[in-house]
A and B are shown apart, each in its own frame.
Chain A
């Protein structure tokens, strides 16, 4: 037994977000970390599309992480499978629920890598409240104007397994102040929530403060809200734009989702930690299912034994006029 201090030159390059992978294609650059397959940063010609994670920090407020095998909350961490109660670990003790899946702090393995794409995989083993073996993967691939993220899952159990997934990027439009951005989400419904942020019902956005089908200034919004009826406007190749932020100079960051992703969560905060103190931030989270889908069944994907599922979302940047 013993203790030893390693010399500085022997220290590894493992950061709080894990081992890093840098992707480059033309003027597009992304940095990925192995823990939670996190998107550390994404830029197009130097303009930030996402809020970058400082090298020496863990992701604040879930910045950039992958949410799997469910996004958002499971009420009280409890759900029922074929009549049997399932008790998940409570990962949001202050609200008593299970939040953002099981891979939030897992280190993924890099299983494929090129200069402009990387695939990371992580197997979810049966555990408290989750009696399934599911191999999951995330592929980040750069595009000329942004990024395509493809989530995959393969059910290695001999019983069918429920699955849902999401991601938690905070979006930016270059250096434009967050409060001055205009948000558009062409969604027809939102999910009302109780004091523990668990859903109480899906409601039409018309006539409510959650109608962001026409652009709304982010500075005037206070959202922690899931949207449904995502319009997938102008669907092409099975994908469509579901939310975008527009800067005063007309530059724009757009979130698109393939049709498997029917939901998006918008979260605004004034309290995102930074080196200069709290700052404004807005998360726009692509999701395949709304909150508490393990209980409602809504949007839940059931993968048969041996079968696989795959779906994509992405970000795209367009400079101002």
Chain B
């Protein structure tokens, strides 16, 4: 029992803290999924970890592997406007007074379909504080021989049109190679600067020398000493499904994030104190998102669904051993 009680460390329990568990396999690839927030707990190809693995007995640390719906990242002041009417969401990030990562973080999804290599999980979003829409959402994890395809779906069951955005919060790995020895490449052409409450301030071309911070990752940069915490846009997938970001190890092994055009944004985040059984250390989240932070206010990337309308789109991850 840890002395410090946080949602991430306080509880051990008789039942998995990430809900009902699923193991998916296809050839040498294997994924482990928990029903709570439809969390991706582990993904390996031939035993090589493509994501930060987390146990079934922890609450996803730093959002690791969870699904972010019906919005990823933050809504400033937890407040937005629908046709002029203020919508006050619950404040789920009290220190910064924002609403963060949607409404399904503490929800155990139900199983809609399952076979040896895939599982489809569903969760209903009922009308609630600041969210006057009824949405039937789903996530399908399909393990491929070289990785994983994740398909997010939604249907608007409201009698009026509904706003929608979605994302996921994977932290990537290239096997056992320490994160600080990896190179990160991001195909983004723009980056959004954040303010002190982590809400969007200004958007810049990644090569704008006055924008500050690490911007241009198109040619790849070593992760050692690099601190990332920004949304990136104008990715390589604007004209169709494409690779949008990748991590490369010194031995040439590469973990690649690909995405449909709907996933037009990536939040890059490099905490230095990611908790692991071996102790805290650097980690790198590359979060595919259909919209940038605070999209409910800016409208950028926001998807509007007519009554009865359904939507789906995919992203995925692939491992390649290349020679260099």
Taking Cβ atoms with an 8 Å cutoff, the residues of A that contact B are 1-6, 8, 11-12, 14-18, 35-36, 56, 58, 77, 81-82, 84, 86-87, 89-91, 93-94, 102, 104-107, 109, 123-133, 156-159, 305-306
Give 4 nearest A-B pairs by CB, closest first: A131-B10, A1-B313, A90-B91, A58-B127
28 contacts between A and B (CB under 8 A): A3-B310, A4-B309, A5-B306, A5-B308, A5-B309, A5-B310, A6-B155, A6-B309, A16-B126, A84-B5, A87-B94, A93-B78, A102-B106, A104-B128, A105-B126, A106-B107, A109-B110, A124-B106, A125-B19, A125-B106, A127-B106, A131-B5, A131-B6, A133-B17, A156-B13, A156-B14, A158-B13, A306-B14
Contact in complex: A35, B124 (CB < 8 Å) = yes
Contact in complex: A89, B7 (CB < 8 Å) = no
Contact in complex: A35, B157 (CB < 8 Å) = no
Contacts of A123 in B (CB 8 A): 19, 108
Q: Is B314 an interface residue (CB 8 A)?
A: yes
Could you tell me the distance between the alpha carbons of A99 and B168 in the complex, rounded to whole angstroms? 28
Could you tell me the distance between the alpha carbons of A5 and B5 in the complex, rounded to whole angstroms? 47
Could you tell me the distance between the alpha carbons of A91 and B312 in the complex, rounded to whole angstroms? 30
Residue interface bits B95-111, CB-to-A below 8 A is 1, else 0: 10000000101111010
**CB under 8 Å from chain A, chain B span 271-324:** 305-306, 308-314
Contact in complex: B92, A89 (CB < 8 Å) = yes
Could you tell me the distance between the alpha carbons of A196 and B208 in the complex, rounded to whole angstroms? 48
Contacts of A107 in B (CB 8 A): 107, 123-124, 126
Could you tell me the distance between the alpha carbons of A126 and B12 in the complex, rounded to whole angstroms? 10
Q: Is B112 an interface residue (CB 8 A)?
A: no
Q: Is B260 an interface residue (CB 8 A)?
A: yes
CB distance from B204 to the nearest CB of A (A): 28
Not counting A87-B94, A129-B7, a sample of 14 additional A-B residue pairs whose C-beta atoms are within 8 angstroms of each other reads A3-B305, A5-B306, A12-B136, A12-B157, A16-B134, A18-B126, A36-B126, A90-B90, A94-B88, A107-B107, A125-B19, A126-B17, A128-B92, A158-B1
Contacts of A35 in B (CB 8 A): 124, 126
Contact in complex: B314, A91 (CB < 8 Å) = no
Contact in complex: B88, A93 (CB < 8 Å) = yes
Could you tell me the distance between the alpha carbons of A11 and B91 in the complex, rounded to whole angstroms? 33
Contacts of B11 in A (CB 8 A): 126, 131-133, 157-159
Contacts of B17 in A (CB 8 A): 125-126, 133
Contacts of A77 in B (CB 8 A): 94
Contact in complex: A3, B106 (CB < 8 Å) = no
Residue interface bits B62-95, CB-to-A below 8 A is 1, else 0: 0000000000000000100000000010111011
The 8 Å CB contact of A11, one of B10, B59, B127, B308, is B308
Contacts of B311 in A (CB 8 A): 1-3
Contact (A125, B126) CB under 8 Å given A1-B260, A4-B309:
no
CB distance from A25 to the nearest CB of B (A): 28
Contact in complex: B128, A58 (CB < 8 Å) = yes
Taking Cβ atoms with an 8 Å cutoff, the residues of B that contact A are 1, 4-7, 10-15, 17, 19, 36, 59, 78, 88, 90-92, 94-95, 103, 105-108, 110, 123-129, 132, 134, 136, 155, 157, 159, 260-262, 305-306, 308-314
Contact in complex: A125, B157 (CB < 8 Å) = no
Contacts of B19 in A (CB 8 A): 123, 125
Contacts of A93 in B (CB 8 A): 78, 88, 90-91
Contact in complex: A157, B13 (CB < 8 Å) = yes
Contact in complex: B103, A105 (CB < 8 Å) = yes
Closest to A17 in B: B126
CB distance from B247 to the nearest CB of A (A): 25
The 8 Å CB contact of B5, one of A18, A56, A86, is A86
Contact (A84, B59) CB under 8 Å given A18-B126, A107-B126, A156-B15:
no
CB distance from B90 to the nearest CB of A (A): 5
Could you tell me the distance between the alpha carbons of A133 and B56 in the complex, rounded to whole angstroms? 13
Could you tell me the distance between the alpha carbons of A14 and B4 in the complex, rounded to whole angstroms? 42
Contacts of B92 in A (CB 8 A): 89-90, 128
Could you tell me the distance between the alpha carbons of A89 and B105 in the complex, rounded to whole angstroms? 12
Contact in complex: B110, A90 (CB < 8 Å) = no
Could you tell me the distance between the alpha carbons of A81 and B311 in the complex, rounded to whole angstroms? 43
CB distance from B290 to the nearest CB of A (A): 10
The 8 Å CB contact of B124, one of A5, A18, A104, A126, is A18
CB distance from A153 to the nearest CB of B (A): 14
Could you tell me the distance between the alpha carbons of A10 and B78 in the complex, rounded to whole angstroms? 34
Contact in complex: A82, B94 (CB < 8 Å) = no
Contact (A1, B310) CB under 8 Å given A94-B88, A127-B106, A131-B11:
no
Could you tell me the distance between the alpha carbons of A6 and B136 in the complex, rounded to whole angstroms? 13
Contacts of B313 in A (CB 8 A): 1
Contacts of B128 in A (CB 8 A): 58, 104-105
Contacts of A56 in B (CB 8 A): 159
Contacts of B308 in A (CB 8 A): 5-6, 8, 11
Could you tell me the distance between the alpha carbons of A65 and B247 in the complex, rounded to whole angstroms? 48
Contact in complex: B5, A158 (CB < 8 Å) = no
Contacts of B125 in A (CB 8 A): 105
Contact in complex: A11, B157 (CB < 8 Å) = yes
Contact in complex: B310, A16 (CB < 8 Å) = no
The 8 Å CB contact of A1, one of B14, B155, B159, B261, is B261
